[in-house]
């Protein structure tokens, strides 16, 4: 993986990953799998913190 990407492309990739994680969290919630749901919610929190540091303080 030697491709160089600019910050705009990196942000788009993170946003796509975040949208996928949100979709998966919702899907696993509906299927009744709390372990996978929590895992994808954790990924969402990490990606949110990357995009907007400090804005998502612990609840």
Per residue in 15-44, pLDDT (tens digit) is: 999 999 999 999 999 999 999 999 999 999
Kindly report the pTM of this predicted structure: 0.79
Could you tell me which of 27, 55, 53 has the C-alpha nearest to residue 39? Answer: 27
Could you tell me which of 44, 43, 45 has the C-alpha nearest to residue 56? Answer: 45
CA distances from 56 to 3, 40, 50, 51, 52 (A): 31, 16, 10, 10, 8
Confidence tier at 53 by pLDDT (50, 70, 90): confident
């Amino acid at each position: 993986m030697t491709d160089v990407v600019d910050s705009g492309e990196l942000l788009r990739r993170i946003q796509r990953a975040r949208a996928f994680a949100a979709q998966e969290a919702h899907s696993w919630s509906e299927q009744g799998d709390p372990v996978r749901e929590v895992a994808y919610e954790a990924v969402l929190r990490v990606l949110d913190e990357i995009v907007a540091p400090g804005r998502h303080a612990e609840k």
